[in-house]
Amino acid sequence: MTTLDSNILDALAERLETCQLEAKDTEKITNDHPDMDWDDAYAIQERILKRKLGRGRRLAGLKAGLTSFAKMKQMDVESPVFGFMTDDYIVPDGGECDTRSLIHPKVEPEIAFVTRKSLSGPGCHIGTVLEATDFVIPGIEVIDSRYRDFKFDLKSVIADNTSASRFVIGGTPTRLDGLDLRTVGIVMEKNGEPVSFGAGAAVLGHPATAIAMLANHLGARGQAIPAGTLILSGGITEAVPVQAGDNVTLRVQGMGSTSLRFV
C-alpha cells in the first residue's frame, strides 16, 4: 500500500524524470517525504516508466542494482533494488554516449542475462534462473543518479529508477552449460588502464541470484519476467566516474568484450 497521495506520486515522478531529461540534479525526495514507504518508491518508478511508454518509448530491459557488497558499501545502503531501461538507454557496442545529456555519469561492469522462458516468483531460485536463461553477455551500465552528489537512501534511489541512464552489451552471447559464473573474471578498463577487477561471485555469491530476487520482487506485485527479457544483474565492483573523452571497455573471461566512448 502506498502512503503518499496519487497526485504527489505523479508530481515526484515528473520531477525526477524532468531532471533526467534536462540533465539537472535535485535533492533526494525523502527530504520532503521522510515517511514514504517502499511501495511509494516503486509507484514513483512505475509512473516514470508510464510517462516514457506514453511518449512512445519501449521497454528495453530490467535491472538489479546494489547486488554486490562493493556497491552497497560505496552507496552506503544494504539491500538490492530493481529498475528498468527503455530503448533510448541503449548504446550500440563501441558507440558513443553524450555526456551533455547526463549529470555525473559512472560506469559499472555487469553480466547481462537474456531469458528464454518467463520467470515468476515467489519461489524463484538460482536453479530456475539457470534453466530459464538463454545466454549471458558482458554489459556496461552507465548510472547517473538524479540526486545531488550521487547521495541518496534506498527509497529515493528506487523512485529514481535506480540511477539507470544508459547501457551497452556486446561480446559473445554465451550459454550457461558448463560455465560457472561465480569464477568468471572481469576487467574493466578506462582509457586502456585497468580500473576494476572482479569475478561473478561478487554479485550475491552468483549473479543468477540477482535475477531470482527480481522475479520474486515482481511476483509479490503480480508481475513476471517475460521470456526474451534482458536483465542487468548489477555492478560487480564499485562504479567508476567518467567524463567526455573517456573510453571504457569491459572484458569478461570467455565472453569477449564490450565498450563505449563518452563524448
162 contributes a contact to ligand OOG by CB under 6 A? yes
Minimum CB distance to Mg ion smaller for 108 or for 144? 108
DSSP sequence for 32-89: T-TT--HHHHHHHHHHHHHHHHHTT--EEEEEEES-BHHHHHHHT--S-EEEEEEGGG
The one segment of 41-49, 91-99, 126-134, 139-147 that binds ligand OOG by CB under 6 A:
139-147
Interface residue with ligand OOG among 20, 30, 161, 163 (CB under 6 A) is 163
Minimum CB distance to ligand OOG smaller for 128 or for 161? 161
Smallest distance from ligand OOG to CB 13, Å: 18
39-68 footprint of Mg ion as x/- string (CB under 5 A): --------------------------x---
242 contributes a contact to ligand OOG by CB under 6 A? no
The one segment of 54-62, 156-164, 172-180, 183-191 that binds ligand OOG by CB under 6 A:
156-164
Smallest distance from Mg ion to CB 235, Å: 5
Our measurement of the distance from residue 223's CA atom to the centroid of its chain's CA atoms, rounded to an integer in Å, reads 18
Q: How far apart are CA 212 and CA 228, in angstroms?
A: 15
> Kindly report the CA angle at 220 between 215 and 225, in degrees rounded to 5?
30
Strands (E), the chain: 59-65, 81-86, 96-97, 106-115, 133-143, 164-169, 185-190, 193-199, 230-232, 240-241, 247-252, 256-262
168 contributes a contact to ligand OOG by CB under 6 A? no
C-alpha cell at 172: 559473445
Interface residue with ligand OOG among 166, 235, 249, 250 (CB under 6 A) is 235
Interface residue with ligand OOG among 234, 250, 255, 257 (CB under 6 A) is 234
Residues 102-131 binding Mg ion (CB under 5 A) are 108
SS3 helix, strand, coil % of the chain, rounded to 5? Answer: 35, 30, 35
Smallest distance from ligand OOG to CB 233, Å: 8
Do residues 229 and 62 touch, judged by C-beta distance below 8 A? yes
Residues 39-68 binding ligand OOG (CB under 6 A) are 65-67
Q: How far apart are CA 74 and CA 72, in angstroms?
A: 6
Q: How far apart are CA 90 and CA 250, in angstroms?
A: 16
Minimum CB distance to Mg ion smaller for 74 or for 172? 74
Q: Which residues of the chain form contacts with ligand OOG (CB under 6 A)?
A: 65-67, 71, 75, 108, 141, 143, 145, 157, 162-163, 234-235, 239
